Amino acid sequence: MKLNILEFLQQLEKISEDITTKDNYIYAKLNILEILRQLEKTPEYIKIKDLKHGYSYKIYALNAFAGIWIENFKGFLIARYKCGDKPYPFIEYHWDHEDGGTAKPFELIEKSPFKIDGDPWNLPDEKKQAVLEYLEELERRHPLIPGYDSVKERKLASIRFEERLKRGRNSNRTPIWKILKDNPNLKI
């Protein structure tokens, strides 16, 4: 069955209630996984030639769901979490990138307030922090899946990964409640 991506994104509205209801948490998580599988498979997304440099888009990508299109990289600047609670600037290449990509844009959100013409990794620290905060807020205001806080989930997964690295390979995983209890000032 071919799925029209706009219809699919509209169907997500009904799932958002399941995500916020504690009794349906497992069901909602399974729905999220199915949604992400469908987004990865769909051939319907904005092509490179139709993207505007410096504009923000709602994207399906390996490491984020919102990004700023950087034309000379043929990719999206995102706030990526890998290890710990601090994001860093990263480029997710467009799905159609000649070297292979991991990002499919679905919707233009707005013109980014930042002018990024050079290497996004070498931004001055103050501007880099402002861009990262903007990208996180953008992803929260325009979630790919309504009701799903993907920034929080990515951040928690990154914190868990850092904890696992500290303990070594054969240690048990620290439950999220313990991480949050032991770090009361952690902003998520």
- The predicted structure's pLDDT at residue 137: 95
Task: At 166, list the tokens.
Answer: 């500290």
- The predicted structure's pLDDT at residue 91: 92
Within a 13 Å sphere around the CA of 149, how many CA atoms are in the beta-carbon half? 8
In 3D space, the residue among 8, 19, 12 whose CA is nearest the CA of residue 148 turns out to be: 19
- The predicted structure's pLDDT at residue 177: 66
In this prediction the pTM is 0.73
- The predicted structure's pLDDT at residue 124: 86
For the chain (188 residues), the mean pLDDT of every run of 10, in chain order, is: 52 53 51 72 85 93 90 91 90 84 90 86 88 94 83 88 77 68 71
- The predicted structure's pLDDT at residue 98: 77
- The predicted structure's pLDDT at residue 77: 93
